[in-house]
Each structure stands twice: as structure tokens, then as C-alpha cells.
A and B are shown apart, each in its own frame.
Chain A
Amino acid sequence: MTKRILKPIEDPLWLKLLLGGVTIGFIAILLLLPLVLVFKEALAGGLGGFWTSMTEPDALASVRLSLIAAGIAVPLNTVFGIAAAWAIAKYDFPAKTFLVTLIDLPFSVSPVVAGLVYVLVFGMQGWLGPTLVDHNVHILFALPAIVLVTIFVTFPFVARELIPLMVDQGRDEEEAAATLGASGFQTFLRVTLPNIKWGLLYGVLLCNARALGEFGAVSVVSGHIRGVTNTMPLHVQLLYDNYDYAGAFTVAALLAMLALLTLALKSVLEWRYADELAAAHRH
């Protein structure tokens, strides 16, 4: 009888089954079950019920508001991300590490605190509140504040994806182009952009997902006016709190589909273009 000799560093079969079982069980119960529930509840009234809840005017208004907020926040943060990564990767200047830490700051701040700081700036007891009222300018509990907090919470996404990538790539290619007479804009468009396009897309994807899904920060500054200042996640809350579970889970399912699409695209980028992403995402 031949006995299979186990490599000394390979786990025995029972351990593989145990750890594999724990992993699959934990992920299934903790992560997949909530996802399954969302779609089951959304379709509880059949596709017709789903469609009715989806096309309800307040639901559509929330979709529109979310798209507007993300449509402003994501491009602005993308321009910022490119500028920040260009400055940090292509030049030497003091306190660079400190700057990177500051850029990451919004990630470690609670979303509610993010909303709070804008209330303290624009609220009635805030810095600018009384002045704004005098001039009849509405920022808090209106679109501008919703856009501002969305920018705040999604601030680092593109930058933190591009900074390590562009630092890794160095500046030789750009310097060569500049030496050969290319303008700064030409250098960026023809040399840098092709090198970072997949990383950029990766950052924009995550930024967009968070912008559409942000809840805590927007909740603080929105004022919760149904059909006017409710984004999709806020509309979910409003319906749920009013015991309209079918409606709540319908909008939730739409957001969940968006999340799944984001995950799918993100995985494709990680598998297909791993070499062109920041090192942390290479599998």
C-alpha cells in the first residue's frame, strides 16, 4: 500500500475541510443571506409589484437626486484625484506623507461627523447660516449640502487608487516626453493616461458606488423632504419606517443590483488588468 506523503507545509484534509467550511458558512450567513433577503422581499409582490414601487414618483425623484449628487461629486473628485496623484507622484516636495494622510482623512471620519461638520458651517447656529438666510441662499437641507457631503465622503477614492499606482510608475516616461518637446497636457494625455486608465476606472467605480449609496452623512444634511431632498438610501429608510416593506426593499434591490454590478466590474478589472492597478489589488 502506498501512503500519500503530505508535504510538511500542506494542511491535512480535515483541516482544509474545517477551515473551508467555516469560511463558506460565515460568508453565506453573514454576507449572502442579507443579499438574498433583499431580492426575495423586493419580488414578494411579483414583478408587477416591483415595477409599481419602482415607478412611484417619490422613488423616481430619489433616483434622480442620487444621480445628480453622484454626477457632480464623482467628476470633481476624479479631477482632484488626478491632480493630487500627479503632484505627489511626479514632483518632490516636503510633507508629502502628511498630505497623503490628510487626503485619507475622510475615510476615518464617521459619516455622521461628516454631515455634522457641514451643519456647523451652514446651519442656523453655524458660521454662515445667518448670512445665508439674509441672502435667501439655501444650502443645508437642499441639493448643495447633499452634494458637498457626498464629495466629502467619497473624497479619497480616486486619489488613493492613483497615488500608489503613479508613484510606482515613476516619472521617467513623462520626463522623456517633456524633454522631447511635448507640452504638459500632451504628456498627460498621451503618456500618463494610457498608463493609469484602468486604475482610474477602478477608483471612479468605487467612488461612484459610495456616492450613490451614502446614507449617514446625507441623512444629517438632507432634511428628509419626501420627493425633494431624499436620495435613494434615504427613501429606503423613509419607506421602511412607514412599514412599506415592499417599497423599501424594491429601492433597496435597485441599490443592491448596483452594488453587484460594481463588484462584478471591480473583479473583472482585478483579473484582467491586475498589472495596471495599484499593487494592493493585484491577486
Chain B
Amino acid sequence: MSAIGLKLSPLRSRHVLPGFRLSLGFTLFYLTLIVLVPLLALVIRPVELGFDGFWTAISTPRVLASLRLSFGMALAAAVIDSGFGLIIAWVLVRYRFPGKGLLDAVIDLPFALPTAVAGIALSTLYAPNGWIGSLLAEYGIRVAYTPWGVLVAMVFIALPFTVRTVQPVMAELGLEVEEAAATLGATRVQIIARVVLPLLAPAVLTGMAMAFARAAGEYGSIIFIAGNIPAVSEIAPLLIVTKLEQYDYAGAAAIGVVMLAASFVLLLALNGLQSWAAKRR
């Protein structure tokens, strides 16, 4: 006891404020209990399964198709949202018009609206007899119950991420750099392409990565509109649920591990992006 006390005393004296061990101790305990131990239960599953078993569980056509759909459509949604996110952020930062505050608040709707609510609303809207679906049906376009339904739901759910990461950076940008470029004879297009967009690039990429991560893992808003046809419009998270319902824990865990690995890679990429952005400041 006394040896530990002696060892810790120099560490303690550096802190004027009390409560270091209590606050950090509780933080680490709670983090371990709620997040790390359960995640460990998933991560070590493939070890029990063996590499071959893991590979067999992953490489069925149905699983591969669901992973391709989830990640492919998430990428498409992230790119679409990044484009519109740039335009929306530009309008919100640069223009003055009545109702702007309301418009700004509405952007966060997909954050606040429960995904099941978004799911049944989008499904009803884009169904062949829905408000939007019936318009599209006249042109022979079907959205609900096809892979395009997955894309619509992902675009909906991921939009706030792209707007909210670009918007503050754009607001901070200041008009001086653009004025300087204009004074030096640059045209408007040149200013946007060579000055503004490069400065926004880290924020745009960060927003895109966050949108991609959210869209790839999304479940609630998609399953109602997708139709969930195996190997066609069945997303990976739904296949996890299906396998769990069939008590195929190993199969579900194998897909879960792939998705978790993707989250880790994205998290690392985001940290890299942030330090890149910090260096450029």
C-alpha cells in the first residue's frame, strides 16, 4: 500500500485540482464495460471460427452482394451529399435571405428524426402510388423496393454530415483571400477552383468520409424502402439481422467484423484528415 502511495505522490502533486483518479477511473471503467468488452466479443469471434470458417461465411454470393450494395451505395450517397452539401453550405454562409435560420435548422432533421420514421415516410413517398413515386412511375422509373431506394435513404440520412463539416470552415474562410486573388486579376471561376475549393478540400473529404460511414452502417431508414430482395436490394446490416434471427451467430459475426473493420479504417482516415487540415491552418 505504502509503496503504491509513494509511487503515485509525484504524479498527484502535478495536479492542483482534485478528482483526477476518480474521473479518469470512472471514464475508463465505463468505456471498457459498455464499449470495449462488447466489441471484443465481436472481434474475437472470427478467431473461434478460424480463418477458413470466416472466409466461407463471408464469401457467399448473398453476403458479397449485400456488402457491395451497402458500401457502393454509401459511396454514391457520400459523393452526392458532398456536392449538394457544398452548394447548401455556400448558400447558408454567403447569401442573406429571409427564412435562412429556419432552413439552417432543417438541415439537422435527419439527425433528429428517428430512422424508422424516416424509413416509413420515404417508403410511402417513393412507392409507385406515392407522391414522388407516382411522378417517377410515369417515366418508368422505380425507386422504392429497388437498390435506388437504398440510395435515396442514404442520401437523406447522410446530408447533415457534409453540410455541417463544410459550413464552419467556409464561414471562417474570410473574403480577404478571394479579394486578393481578384485584385491580382483572377477570374471568378479561377478563384473558386484555385483558391476556395483547395482550402475547403479537407473539410469536404472529412464530411464525405463521415457521410460514407453513416450511410454504410445505416439500417432503420433503408429497410422499409429497399424491398430487401436477397442479393439485389438487401443491405449488409439487414443480413446480419436475418442471420441472427436464424441463430447463425457465426455468419452474423463475420459480416459484423467486416463492417467494424471498415469503421476502424474510416476512423483512422478521419484522424489523418484532421491532422492534415490542422497542418494547413
Q: Which single member of A34, A178, A256 contacts B125 (CB below 8 Å)? A: A34
Q: Kindly state the separation between the CA atoms of A40 and B59 in the bound complex, as whole angstroms.
A: 45
- Interface residue B256 (Cβ < 8 Å from any Cβ of A): yes
Closest to B89 in A: A23
Task: Bits for B5-23, please: 1 = Cβ < 8 Å to A, else 0.
Answer: 0000000001111111011
State the majority secondary structure of interface residues on A.
Answer: helix
Minimum Cβ distance to chain A for residue B207 (Å): 13
- Point out the residues of chain B lying under 8 angstroms from A76, CB to CB: 30
Which of B23, B105, B114, B220 has its CB near the most chain A CB atoms (within 10 A)? B114
8 Å CB contacts to B: which residues of A121-167? Answer: 121, 123-127, 148, 151-152, 155
A127 in complex: contacting residue of B41, B113, B218, CB < 8 Å = B41
- Determine how close the nearest CB of chain B comes to the CB of A97; give it in whole angstroms: 8
Q: Are B240 and A233 in contact (CB under 8 A)?
A: no
Do A113 and B240 have beta carbons less than 8 Å apart? yes
Closest to B112 in A: A259
Which of A45-53, A102-110, A193-201 is near enough to bind chain B? A102-110
Partner of A213, one of B114, B182, B256: B114
Contact A215 B91 (CB under 8 A): no
**A113 to chain B: closest CB distance in Å?**
5
Chain B contacts for A111, CB-based, 8 A: 217-220, 237
In the complex, B4 has a CB within 8 A of chain A: no
A64 on interface, CB distance cutoff 8 Å: no
The closest CB in chain A to the CB of B187 belongs to A8
User: Within 8 Å CB of A212, what residues of B?
Assistant: 114
- B219 engages A215 (CB within 8 Å): yes
Tell me if A116 and B116 are in contact (CB < 8 A): no
Residues of B within 8 A of A124 (CB): 247
Tell whether, in the assembled complex, residue B27 and residue A252 are in contact, meaning their CB atoms are under 8 Å apart.
Answer: no
Cα separation A26 to B84 with both chains bound (whole Å):
8
Contact B42 A27 (CB under 8 A): no
CB-CB nearest in chain B for A116: B256
Q: Is the CB of B259 within 8 A of A113?
A: yes
The answer to whether A220 and B244 have CB atoms under 8 Å apart is yes
Say yes or no: B244 contacts A31, CB within 8 Å. Answer: no
Distance from A224 Cβ to chain B, minimum over Cβ atoms (Å): 10
A227-239 interface mask toward B, CB cutoff 8 Å, 1 = contact, 0 = none? Answer: 0000011101100
Given contacts A37-B131, A236-B117, contact A216 B38 (CB under 8 A): no
**Known contacts A23-B91, A252-B116, A29 near B132 by CB under 8 Å:** yes
The digit string for B212-248, where 1 denotes a CB below 8 A from any CB of A, is 0100111110001000000000000110110010010
Asked if B281 is at the interface of the complex by the 8 Å CB criterion, the answer is no
Q: Are B91 and A19 closer than 8 Å at their CB atoms?
A: yes
Residues of A within 8 A of B247 (CB): 124-125
In the complex, what's the smallest C-beta–C-beta distance from A180 to chain B, in angstroms?
11
Partner of B106, one of A32, A216, A234: A32
Contact B16 A175 (CB under 8 A): yes
> Among residues 123 to 180 in chain B, which have CB atoms less than 8 Å away from a CB atom of chain A?
124-125, 131-132, 155-156, 159, 164, 168, 171, 175, 178-179
B109: interface (CB < 8 Å): yes
A56 beta carbon closer than 8 Å to chain B: no
Min CB–CB distance B92 → chain A (angstroms): 8
A205 — nearest CB in chain B belongs to which residue? B112
Given contact pairs A33-B132, A38-B121, A87-B27, A8 touches B182 in the complex (Cβ within 8 A): yes
Task: Report yes or no: A106 in contact with B35, Cβ–Cβ below 8 A.
Answer: yes
A101 within 8 A of B: yes
Among residues 11 to 67 in chain B, which have CB atoms less than 8 Å away from a CB atom of chain A? 14-20, 22-24, 26-27, 30-31, 34-39, 41-42, 45
* Chain B residues, Cβ within 8 Å of A202: none
Q: Is B205 an interface residue (CB 8 A)?
A: no
Distance (Å) between the CB of A45 and the closest chain B CB?
15
User: Do A252 and B117 touch across chains, with their CB atoms under 8 A apart?
Assistant: yes
In contact, B17 and A83 (Cβ under 8 angstroms): no
Q: Is A277 an interface residue (CB 8 A)?
A: no
Asked whether, in the complex, the Cβ of B249 is within 8 Å of the Cβ of A126, the reply is: yes
Query: Out of A104, A151, A179, A215, which one reaches B220, CB within 8 Å?
Result: A215
Interface residues of B (CB under 8 A from A): 14-20, 22-24, 26-27, 30-31, 34-39, 41-42, 45, 84, 87-88, 90-92, 94-95, 97, 101, 103-122, 124-125, 131-132, 155-156, 159, 164, 168, 171, 175, 178-179, 182-183, 188, 191, 213, 216-220, 224, 237-238, 240-241, 244, 247, 249, 252-253, 256, 259-260, 263, 266-267, 271
Provide 30 A-B residue pairs closer than 8 Å at the C-beta atoms, listed in order of the A residue.
A8-B179, A22-B84, A23-B91, A34-B121, A35-B113, A76-B30, A80-B26, A83-B26, A83-B27, A90-B23, A91-B20, A103-B31, A108-B263, A109-B39, A109-B217, A111-B237, A116-B240, A119-B249, A120-B41, A124-B247, A152-B38, A174-B17, A213-B114, A233-B220, A237-B120, A240-B224, A248-B120, A255-B116, A260-B112, A267-B105
Q: A120-B41, A215-B116 are in contact. List 5 more A-B contacts (CB 8 A).
A: A19-B95, A38-B121, A109-B217, A220-B244, A255-B114
